[in-house]
Amino acid sequence: MTEDLKELFQTEPDSTVLARVKEFYDHIQIVDKLKGELEKAQEKKDDAEAILFQTLENAGLELVRTEFGTFFQRFDFYASIEAARKSEGYAWVRELGFGDLIYETINARTFSAFIKDLRAQNENLELPEYVNTTTKKKVGRRKK
């Protein structure tokens, strides 16, 4: 192994590198803690929303104005087509004259992996001008 490669795999990083690793790790810990706190807060908010909705319903109120804002009952409606019957559902939507609601998508991560694999097979591959690529500098971490 050349001296340059040995430096890449040094087992005893200097104090500057260790300080930067520690700083990055500390921020990872803060983010992980905040994500956990956010998840718990979201659950509590969802519970409070369900209780408030029921309270408004029991009181026969559709809305209430307070110093915190106006709060009201809202009924959101969702519809979807079963994945196994997507082509049948799309045909039905087209028959109704609303085919413009239907569009194809490609999962961004899957497409990125696909392009990366194509480039690995052919370094000189010319991508069409409508395919954008970006490389982000990131630091990976494996947990012990």
In the chain, the N- to C-terminal Cα span, in Å, equals 27
Residues composing the chain: 144
Q: Are residues 64 and 88 in the same domain?
A: no
pLDDT per residue, tens digit, the chain (144 aa), is: 566 666 666 578 889 999 999 999 999 999 999 999 999 999 999 999 999 999 999 999 999 999 999 999 999 999 999 999 999 999 999 999 999 999 989 999 999 999 999 999 998 999 999 999 998 888 777 887
Q: Are residues 73 and 128 in the same domain?
A: no
Query: What range does the domain containing 41 cover?
Result: 1-78
Residue at a domain's end among 78, 96, 121: 78
Q: What is the pLDDT of residue 141?
A: 75
d(CA 42, CA 44): 5
**Structural element, H or E, at residue 66:** strand 63-66
Q: Are residues 1 and 59 in the same domain?
A: yes
Q: Are residues 15 and 71 in the same domain?
A: yes
Q: What is the pLDDT of residue 4?
A: 64
Q: What is the pLDDT of residue 136?
A: 87
Q: Are residues 74 and 107 in the same domain?
A: no
43 assigned to some structural domain:
yes
Q: What is the pLDDT of residue 144?
A: 75
Decide if 101 contacts 108 (C-beta within 8 A).
no
